[in-house]
Amino acid sequence: MPSVRVRALSACLALTVAAVLAGCGRTATLDGPAWGTPDEAIAAAVAKMPEGFNFVAEVAGLAGQENVNGTDRPGEGSLSLVRSSVGAASVNRAVLIGDELWMRYEGIAGFPEEWGHLATGGSVFAAGAGMIGPGTWVPALVDEIVSVERTGPMRFGGILDFDAVEPQKTGVPSYQLDSVDNGDEVAFSLNLNKDGYIEHFEFTLEGPDGDLVMNYNFNEHGTANEVAPPAGEEITELTTETIVDWLLGDFGS
């Protein structure tokens, strides 16, 4: 009969071979040192977000459905964001570079069709108007995770305390928030890609007359599109004092 030492070595060798056959990489085990616990894996993924990424999403609720896409480069403080209403010819575009903001509303009655530009104060206005990227609101939500478990090799699910997050940092448009109950127990799911970046993030807010679903997908991590000001377009220069009049169509009257 093999000695205890021989049996132990054989078992160790068998495990090593199994790991090699499984790829001997980051996905070889669910809780290997490369990924750690669910909390550690998610924290590491969030820490990568400043590198930049592109995103595409669906936001569906009682107020209708929006298709959202853009580029977020948090490390550079730049964002391009496009929201288009499904079933309606309305589009909201925003470009934020540092403290400069360009915005445009298309197909919305009463709103100006040209681009408006804030040379200063743009980041504050954008945050107040909900023009923030996932690089801002995903970390804010992740900070309020109450419980999380691994549901697959690169998939996680759990509960977050939505009430603990400032409304303008939830990623949910303010007009959509009015139709749901902001709870302290909101279910979420999150997927990572093979390189440990966030690939998918989704959560649902329940409401008395229907749910609001935020469904975001991320790609091109670290090689996201450049964010540049609109070129060859009519642009109206604004200040924080005149922007409200511009939005109401009273600018210059």
Residue 3: pLDDT band (50, 70, 90) is very low
What pLDDT, on the 0 to 100 scale, is given for residue 35? 66
What pLDDT, on the 0 to 100 scale, is given for residue 251? 57
Q: Average pLDDT, whole number, for the chain? A: 83
What pLDDT, on the 0 to 100 scale, is given for residue 252? 53
What pLDDT, on the 0 to 100 scale, is given for residue 21? 34
What pLDDT, on the 0 to 100 scale, is given for residue 99? 95
Distance CA 133, CA 222 (A): 15
pLDDT, tens digit (0-9, with 9 covering 90-100), for 141-159: 999 999 999 999 899 999 9
SS3 87: coil
Which burial class, exposed, middle or buried, applies to 28 when counting CB atoms under 10 A from its CB (0-12, 13-18, 19+)? middle
Radius of gyration of the chain, Cα coordinates, nearest whole angstrom? 23
As given in the structure block, the two tokens for residue 78 are: 């730049």
Q: Is the pLDDT of residue 139 over 90?
A: yes
Q: Which residue has the tokens 């490369």?
A: 34
HSE-up (13 A, CA, CB side) for residue 29 = 12
What pLDDT, on the 0 to 100 scale, is given for residue 191? 97
Distance CA 216, CA 51 (A): 18
> What does residue 3 show for φ and ψ, rounded to 5 degrees?
-70, 165
237 Cβ contact partners less than 8 Å away, ≥ 6 residues apart: 117, 119
The alpha carbon dihedral of 16, 20, 25, 27 has a sign of negative
Q: Is the pLDDT of residue 98 over 70?
A: yes
| 8 A C-beta contact, residue 42 and residue 155 | no
pTM for this one?
A: 0.81
State mean pLDDT over 112-117.
90
Which burial class, exposed, middle or buried, applies to 68 when counting CB atoms under 10 A from its CB (0-12, 13-18, 19+)? buried
Residue 233: pLDDT band (50, 70, 90) is confident
Q: Tell me what percent of the residues of the chain surpass a pLDDT of 90.
A: 55
pLDDT, tens digit (0-9, with 9 covering 90-100), for 178-225: 777 767 799 999 999 999 999 999 999 987 778 889 999 999 999 999
